[in-house]
Amino acid sequence: MITQRIKGLVKRLVSGEGTGARRIGRDEHQIDRNHVSRNAIKVCEVLQQKGFQAYIVGGAVRDLIIGLEPKDFDVATNATPEQIQPLFRRARIIGRRFRLVHVVFGREIIETSTFRAPSSGDELTDDHGRILRDNVFGTHEQDAERRDFTINALYYDPVTEEVIDLHRGVQDLKRRVVRMIGDPAVRYREDPVRMLRAVRFAVKLKGKIDPGTEVPIAKLASLINNVPSARLFDEILKLLTCGDAMLCIKQLQAHGLHGGLLPLLDIILEDPEGRAFIELALERTDARIRSGKTVSPSFLFAALLWPQVRLHWQKLHNAGEYLAPALISAADQVLNAQTESLAINRRHASDMREIWFMQPRFERRVPRAIHRLFEQPRFRAGVEFLQLRAACGEFDSVIAQWWMDLADAPDDERAQMLQELAPEPKPTDTKNRRRRPRRRKSAPTETNA
């Protein structure tokens, strides 16, 4: 679908290497305004009514042009955060490195940022050149210049329905090329996450990275280790939920960007059983993404780390530790090794443990134990995880399907399924009988002769 839309765009858009802003009308870009967030349109309209420039910007514009549904909408304007905030009932200024405004509409947040000037060299940076604080506001042209890739430097005016292209981003989009604005090496030092984004966008567009943009990555890949772990977690999650996760992982490895992101991933992928499990998990994740369904980060990372948890679990159990304590120790060991570089927050880690700890409990199909499992908040996730294990030969597929049927069944059918289970064997009388303490015979009293 993406290829067809792009081929159609080639015939309609103005070609050429011209400099300066190009305004592309609706007949050429073919963005359907009905697919644009009403709240993002409202933010632009309010700001423009107050005399400011305001555009929907970045990835949303890129996705709309190629026929994808954007996950979120951002707005760029020449209004400062202090000028933006009073114009909306629910708006708050956030950020240290970049001060911007979150305009809240129910569950949707429209991130609204002020045009920023390119790096001047005076910003606060770390020892490797990564910008730590940068709040220098600029013009629309300067804002486009400081964006990372040309395909993200596109601005959509929902009022005039024009796309403003200052860096030939539409042309690169047509060619499916990811090209950096400015000197790639400098831009990567400013923000090493751009290397991960380059890989993700190339995979998403089914295209390639421009050679000049690609060459410095191998040399600068180690800079990824300087990125805050929480930000890395967010970017890895985007990579794994882009709709083609396994290809993203292969491209990360090809560019030397995999080290330190998922420290256990290389070990897992070298193991045939672990690789099969992860490939199946990512394949099913991609299928959910493509069908418009949501993906739980907890479930996804539980699947990625399960091969190592299972390996440690088996070793501890074979060494004489009981099943449940062995699984708890294995989970702690794997999560502790992972969170040193990737900030898996406590909520996700707690959900992952719950999914893992349910797995041995599926072995026991007796009504009393099953009723206790129903009470677990992640019961459904645990059953779906069991399906992955069964598909890879770790668990009996017939029993795994029984659990899925039970999870899907209405209450009356569920009750019938539980009645049909064989009753739990009762302990034999010899084991269950409590022995009565023997009465001690009282010692004979001595009588005086």
Share of the chain above pLDDT 70, in %: 82
> Which residue has tokens 């499992």?
373
HEC profile of 385-441: HHHHHHHCCCCCHHHHHHHHHHHHCCHHHHHHHHHCCCCCCCCCHHHHCCCCCCCCC
Active-site choice (27, 32, 63, 74): 74
Residue 26 CB partners (closer than 8 Å, separation 6+): 161, 162
CA nearest neighbour of 376 among 357, 389, 394 = 357
What integer pLDDT is reported at residue 210 of this predicted model?
Answer: 96
Q: Which amino acid is at 13?
A: L
Distance CA 396, CA 373 (A): 19
pLDDT tens column, 69-110: 898 999 999 999 999 999 999 999 998 767 899 999 999 999
What integer pLDDT is reported at residue 368 of this predicted model?
Answer: 87
Distance CA 287, CA 268 (A): 22
Query: What phi, psi does 6 have (nearest 5°)?
Result: -70, -40
Is 234 in the active site?
no
From residue 296, give the alpha-carbon distance in Å to each of 166, 190, 437: 37, 31, 57
Residue 3 · residue 206 · CB < 8 Å: yes
Report domain extents, the chain. Answer: 1-184, 230-244+257-422
CA nearest neighbour of 91 among 115, 63, 111 = 111
Q: Are strands 177-178 and 208-209 parallel, antiparallel or unpaired?
A: parallel
Q: Does residue 286 carry a pLDDT above 70?
A: yes
Distance CA 80, CA 174 (A): 34
Superfamily (CATH) of domain 1-184: Beta Polymerase, domain 2 (3.30.460.10)
Q: Which amino acid is at 129?
A: G
User: What secondary structure does DSSP assign to 31-46, as a single string?
Assistant: --GGGS-HHHHHHHHH
Where is pLDDT greater, at 45 or 233?
45
pLDDT tens column, 358-372: 999 999 898 888 988
Written as six digits, the tokens of 437 are: 């303490």
Q: Which amino acid is at 221?
A: A
Q: Which residues pair with 76 in a beta bridge?
A: 55, 113
Average pLDDT, the chain: 85
Written as six digits, the tokens of 237 are: 């999650």
What integer pLDDT is reported at residue 389 of this predicted model?
Answer: 95
Distance CA 386, CA 376 (A): 15
HEC profile of 135-193: CCECCHHHHHHHCCEHHHCEEEECCCCEEEECCCHHHHHHHCEECECCCHHHHHHHCCH
Residue 37 · residue 61 · CB < 8 Å: no
Residue 108 CB partners (closer than 8 Å, separation 6+): 37, 39
Is 74 in the active site?
yes
CA 308 to chain centre: 20
> Which residue has tokens 């890739």?
149
CA nearest neighbour of 335 among 324, 323, 346, 322 = 346
The vertex-144 CA angle with 140 and 145, nearest 5°, equals 115
Distance CA 133, CA 124 (A): 5
CA nearest neighbour of 384 among 280, 311, 289 = 280
Is 148 in the active site?
yes
Residue 91 · residue 104 · CB < 8 Å: yes
Distance CA 77, CA 93 (A): 14
Superfamily (CATH) of domain 230-244+257-422: cca-adding enzyme, domain 2 (1.10.3090.10)
Q: Does residue 447 carry a pLDDT above 50?
A: no
What integer pLDDT is reported at residue 446 of this predicted model?
Answer: 46
Q: The pTM is what?
A: 0.78
10 Å Cβ neighbour count for 185?
A: 17
Query: What phi, psi does 342 have (nearest 5°)?
Result: -130, 120
For residue 292, what is the DSSP state? T
Q: Which residues pair with 113 in a beta bridge?
A: 76
Taking CB atoms within 8 Å and a gap of at least 24, the contacts of 399-403 are 399/362, 399/365, 400/362, 402/365, 403/362
pLDDT tens column, 291-301: 888 899 999 99
Active-site choice (72, 126, 234, 408): 72
What integer pLDDT is reported at residue 21 of this predicted model?
Answer: 83
User: What secondary structure does DSSP assign to 217-228, as a single string?
Assistant: HHHHGGGGGGS-
Q: Does residue 8 carry a pLDDT above 50?
A: no
From residue 362, give the alpha-carbon distance in Å to each of 126, 185, 194, 331: 50, 52, 43, 18
Active-site choice (134, 143, 148, 172): 148
Straight-line distance from the first to the last Cα atom of the chain, in angstroms, rounded to the nearest whole number: 116
Q: Are strands 74-77 and 108-114 parallel, antiparallel or unpaired?
A: parallel
Question: What's the pLDDT band for 120 if we cut at 50, 70, 90?
Answer: low
What integer pLDDT is reported at residue 230 of this predicted model?
Answer: 81
